[in-house]
Structure formats: C-alpha cells, structure tokens
Amino acid sequence: MAASMSGVLELKCEEKVNSSKILVVGAGGIGCELLKNLVLTGFKDIEVIDLDTIDVSNLNRQFLFRKEHVGMSKAKVAKESALQFNPDANIISYHDSIFSSEYGMDFFKKFAVVMNALDNTAARNHVNRMCLAADIPLIESGSAGYLGQVTVIKKGLTECYECQLKPPQKSYPGCTIRNTPSEPIHCIVWAKHLFNQLYGQEDPDQDVSPDTEDPELAGEAGKSALEQESKENSVGGIERKSTKSWAMQIGYDPHKIFNKLFRDDIKYLLSMDKLWEKRRPPISLDWENLPDTVEGSSVGVIHDQRLWSIKECATIFGKCLGDLKGQLSQQGDGGMLVWDKDDDIAMDFVTSAANIRAHIFGIPSKTRFDIKSMAGNIIPAIATTNAIIAGLIVMESFKVLKGQIETVKVYHIISSEEGETEGQLQCRQILSDFNIANGTRLKCDDFLQNYNLIITIATQVTFIVDKLEEDKEFDVIGDLADLQPVEESEKPSNDEAEQIGW
C-alpha cells in the first residue's frame, strides 16, 4: 500500500512538473545552472527574464554561454542553450528589466512558481513584493563565494525576503578614510568618495579633505587654530568651497587637483602632530617630481593585473580628470556622474587615485583587477556553489508543486573558511524581547511605496473578549502559548476559557 501511494505521489509530481509554468528571474551564475536543471528535470513551460548582456568575465562559471556570445542578451542565449538539453521545452525569454510596468501583478499570476536568481537587493525586494501581492510562491536564492542560500517564500505561511535579517554592510570611520588610512580598502573608499565629490552628488559624509574633528586630535595644542584655518583657507591659498565648484572653476586642471590632494592636503595632515606620534607619517608628492618605479615584476602580466608606477598613476589620473569632465559637460547644468565599476574611465580614476594615496601612506599598491573587486564589492563566484543552489531550488519546487509547502526547508551553505561567516548568522528575536506586549501600537512605514500603517499588538484573549472596534487600524493576534506565563489570578474561569478557546 505504501509503495502504491508513493507511486501516485510521484506521478502527481511528474504531471505538475510537465504542466506548471515557471518564471526564472535572472540568467547569470545561478540562473544558467537553474535553467539547465529545469529542462533536464522535465519542466516544459518556462519564462526567463534578464536585463544584462554577456561579458567575458561571465564565461568561467555561466556555462550556457560561449566566447562568441559576448555582448549578446543573457536571457536569449540562455534560452537557446537550454533548449539543446531538451528541445521539447517551451522557453520564452525577455531581455528586459523586471521593474518594467509590463511585468505587473497579472504577469506574475500566470506562474505556479517564481524562482529568483538575482544578484542585487533592489530587484529581490521588487520580486518579493510582486509575489506577495499576486500570492504566488517564490523560491529566493543567492550565492557569494562558498556561501549560498535557498528560501521558499509564501504569503501567510513564511517570512518574506525583506523580513529576513541581512548581514550589515561594512563601513569605515570617516577620520580613518580622511586622515589615517592603513589598508588598501581605506584608499579605495577615499578614491570613490573623491569621484563623487568631483563629478557626482556632493555628500558631506564623503568629504576627502583632512578631518580636523578627528577624535585623536582632542586636546592637541593649536587644534583650534587649524580648525579656523580650515574654515577660511586651504593650504596654498585656495578659498574653501565645495570640491566640485572649485574643480569646475579651475577647469579640472590635473596639475592643480593633484597637488591640492596629494601635496597640500598631506602637508596639512602632517601639521597634526598627534596623529603621527605612533604612526608612520605620510609623504607629500608633487606633480613635477614623481617616482617611476614599480613594486615587483610586471613582465608578461595582462593590463589589469599589472602594477602601475606612481608616475603612471598620475598620468592616468590626469587623463581621467579630462575624460570625466567631458562626460559631465554632456549632462548639462546640474548634471552628475555615478561611479560604475564597469565604466573603464571611472575604474581607472579610482585605481590611480587609490594607489597614489596608498603610496603616500606606505600602503602596498594594488592592481586594477584587485581594486575593481574591492571597489565593486565583488565576491568571486564559485561554480560549484551555484550548481548546488540551483539543485536545491528545483528540489524545493517539487514540494511547492505537490502542495507540501509545510515541508520546505531553509538552506544555508556555510563556508569552510574560518571566520568568513562570522556575524552573518544572527539569532532571531521576538517582540517580547523589546518589551512589546499587549496593547502596544507600532507605526510601520514603507518609504519605497509611500505606505504606512499602525499595528496594534493584542493577545488572543483581548481580541475575542474586547471585540475590536471597526475604526482600529490593524491588529496582530499572538498565540497565548508564546506569551509570558499568566498568573493564576489572571486566568479565566473554565466557562470563560471554553468561550474564548483558552
């Protein structure tokens, strides 16, 4: 009998696989593996959407693509390649953004399951919300190096993507970035801030000039004089104004900008004696007298993996200043540029500026390849992780299609590297941990959707006995078993308990 029932369930699952319409969002590392798995498993009605085009750097892990596909649509090439595994499958591809108004609630309602294979939070949030609104199961996934996760999201049954705790983004103290960098990443962050100050949206939190409010300067004699000088003038007699305004006024002259950033500002830092009592002091540079030596050998090394001399960095820095000035002028009055790791000029700017600053502070230089990884927060992708994640997505889809969503699991693949996952797995906390109890009112805002509501927290007893008034905004009813123990004197009588379902 058991064997017979198992056979019926397997047949039902096979029928569901053959007939269910599936949406795959993303055709990159996980997406390629997922599409291959789906068609080999027997899924025949698949739609895939991806806005990206194929880059050479994708070829080492996105195995549906070949060298001749570079520059072509990922979604379209992935479709054609996946069909070679199963020509009977019907795959529709969209080279488009999932944010497009064409992919609204009616679009999502067509599918039995939506599978995310995305690489950015904004798109994940959007798909999560669309699936909740359409009441369609979503299988969320992601990978980062040896790490990976798969989660099934179903409205009313599981927490959604935005409810899940995310590891905090690493940040660095402003005084370290501006005054006392000690690692390559500090110089890279400074260079990205410089790009924004010169060409983008000016942000006071991204100032690149010396920081006179550095906590280490507390009590230093002459500090007040330095502060006054910083307000009135900069070293060299340049009037203090916004970096962008000053750069535009001098026509983005590379000599003046270089000497301001890497000579005058460094001399100003050196005048803050207390900072260098226990540190190696920086050395100032001058455009007219730059070292032309390179650390290590660069023979036979490709361009992105070759270290640049400081003189070469200065030359590239100057050229980038002019090229970016031209891009900015095309934007018209009030125009801004946004730094992009895939923009060669913007990437050269950060590489050259970061390495010049690193040299000044005695920090080892980095290749353009390394700086791109750090500046773009790129975690090297591992093909085997993507393959495992794609396999788990398909396994979880079987449970969803068979109506066994209560059996789904949350998968976290943990790195074997010591300390790599430190701080990523955090304990969940419940409302009572924050002293939120019966009668507490919570105001919730969703700034993205310009939507807000007020939630009144109530126990089940209060909800049934008090009968909420119609004008109350929203109520969350908790299970009494999850609350604090009830004193004997507060417990209802047997008759009351039977009425309220105690």
Tokens of residue 227, six digits: 């502060």
221 assigned to some structural domain: yes
425 assigned to some structural domain: no
Q: Which of 214, 203, 468 is nearest to 339 (CA)?
A: 203
Can you tell me the distance from the alpha carbon of 128 to that of 162, in angstroms, rounded to the nearest whole number?
8
CATH, residue 65: 3.40.50.720
Same domain (yes/no): 139, 186: no
397 assigned to some structural domain: yes
For 162-191, the pLDDT digits (tens) are 887 766 667 788 899 999 999 999 999 999
Same domain (yes/no): 367, 386: no
Same domain (yes/no): 120, 256: no
Same domain (yes/no): 311, 206: yes
423 assigned to some structural domain: no
Same domain (yes/no): 162, 61: yes
422 assigned to some structural domain: no
Same domain (yes/no): 345, 440: no
CATH, residue 237: 1.10.10.520
> What is the CB neighbour count within 10 angstroms for residue 1?
5
Same domain (yes/no): 208, 280: yes
Domain region containing 333: 179-375
CA dihedral 55, 57, 61, 64 (to 10 degrees): 20
Q: Tens digit of pLDDT per residue, the chain (502 long)?
A: 445 445 545 667 788 888 999 999 999 999 999 999 999 999 999 999 999 999 887 898 999 999 999 999 999 999 999 999 999 999 999 999 999 989 999 999 999 999 999 988 889 999 999 999 999 999 999 988 888 899 999 998 888 888 877 666 677 888 999 999 999 999 999 999 999 999 998 788 888 999 888 887 765 544 444 444 444 444 444 445 678 889 999 999 999 999 999 999 999 999 999 999 999 999 999 998 888 777 665 666 777 888 999 999 999 999 999 999 999 998 888 888 989 888 899 999 999 999 999 999 999 999 999 999 898 877 778 899 999 999 999 999 999 998 888 888 777 685 544 444 444 444 456 677 777 777 787 777 765 556 677 788 776 554 444 444 444 544 555 554 444 444 454 444 555 444 434 4
Look up the pTM and report it. Answer: 0.59
Q: Are strands 138-144 and 147-153 parallel, antiparallel or unpaired?
A: antiparallel
418 assigned to some structural domain: no
| Structural domains of the chain, count | 3
130 assigned to some structural domain: yes
Tokens of residue 411, six digits: 């998968």
Same domain (yes/no): 107, 193: no
Q: What are phi and psi of 452, to 5 degrees?
A: -145, 155
Same domain (yes/no): 402, 323: no
304 assigned to some structural domain: yes
Q: Which residues contact 436 (CB under 8 A, 6 or more apart)?
A: 442, 457
- H or E element at residue 445: strand 441-446
Same domain (yes/no): 399, 310: no
- Catalytic (active-site) positions: 175
Same domain (yes/no): 370, 385: no
Same domain (yes/no): 289, 401: no
Q: At what angle do helices 2-19 and 383-401 cross, to 10 degrees?
A: 110
Q: Are strands 45-49 and 441-446 parallel, antiparallel or unpaired?
A: unpaired
